[in-house]
Amino acid sequence: MNKRLAAEFFGTLWLVLGGCGSAVLAAAFPGVGIGLHGVSLAFGLTVLTMAFAIGPISGCHLNPAVTLGLAVGGRFPFKDLAGYWVAQVLGAVAASAILYVIATGDGSAIGGFASNGFGEHSPGKYGLGAALLTEVVMTFFFLMVILGSTAKKAAPGFAPIAIGLCLTLIHLISIPVTNTSVNPARSTGPALFVGGWALSQLWLFWVAPLIGAALAGFVFPKLED
């Protein structure tokens, strides 16, 4: 278990450092900024690379919602849920600390720091209802892809590609709405450094992804039967 938790810690650290790091450091860099498309791809690449690296060790969840969805779907023991959640959140916080040091290295403030938000803190100024629905639906389909691509009948070896591309697509759709969470750990790390509004809105980015993931964990096994 210790090795599995360590894998989840480092995997989630990589996800947040790579994904949020691309948003904070590279999205709007003068002349060569990667923009929404680049940030979306960066998040997908973090999951794809880590799925190959630590998938055989911990399953490469990197996300409390994924762990819950797999547990509801009968793929993961509920007794191990809390340990995975703690490792994932700690990995996200460690990544955010590293990114904070890098981002402030030129003397600038961190700004929004890739935090998730709704209302005035949504990139497109989308309200609470739109943000909640977006996060539930996007996480639902993320788990459907994860459960399907890792099923016994699925083609072996291709799950990381499907999952990474799915996360890329999710970001392409929902960055304008919430800055894309679908991952409570990813939301928690940056929010702790921004404080204020980011912490006050953090509840949504726990509740909505967990609901979406649990729904997928319930629905997908019905499709397999």
Q: What is the pLDDT of residues 146-165, one digit of tens each?
A: 999 999 888 888 999 999 99
CA dihedral 142, 143, 144, 147 (to 10 degrees): 130
Average pLDDT, the chain: 96
pLDDT band at 20 (very low <50, low <70, confident <90, very high): very high
196 token code pair:
């204020």
pLDDT at 3: 97
Helices (H), the chain: 2-21, 35-58, 64-72, 81-103, 128-149, 159-178, 184-194, 196-200, 204-224
DSSP letter assigned to residue 107:
S
Dihedral of alpha carbons 171, 176, 180, 182, sign: negative
Dihedral of alpha carbons 217, 54, 94, 16, sign: negative
169 by Cβ neighbours in 10 Å (0-12 / 13-18 / 19+) ranks as: middle
Q: Are 147 and 220 in contact (CB under 8 A)?
A: yes
Alpha-carbon distances, residue 212 vs 3, 21, 70, 77, 203 (angstroms): 28, 26, 12, 19, 14
Question: Using CA atoms, how far apart are residues 193 and 212, in angstroms rounded to an integer?
Answer: 26
Helices (H), 22-63: 35-58
Question: Using CA atoms, how far apart are residues 2 and 85, in angstroms rounded to an integer?
Answer: 13
Question: Using CA atoms, how far apart are residues 66 and 12, in angstroms rounded to an integer?
Answer: 12
The pTM is what?
Answer: 0.94
Q: Are 210 and 184 in contact (CB under 8 A)?
A: yes
pLDDT at 156: 87
Judged by phi (left if over 0) then psi (alpha if -120 to 50, else beta), residue 179 lies in: left
pLDDT at 86 over 90: yes
pLDDT band at 85 (very low <50, low <70, confident <90, very high): very high
> Cβ contacts of residue 112 below 8 Å, gap of 6+?
121, 179, 194, 198
Neighbours of 3 (CB within 10 A): 10
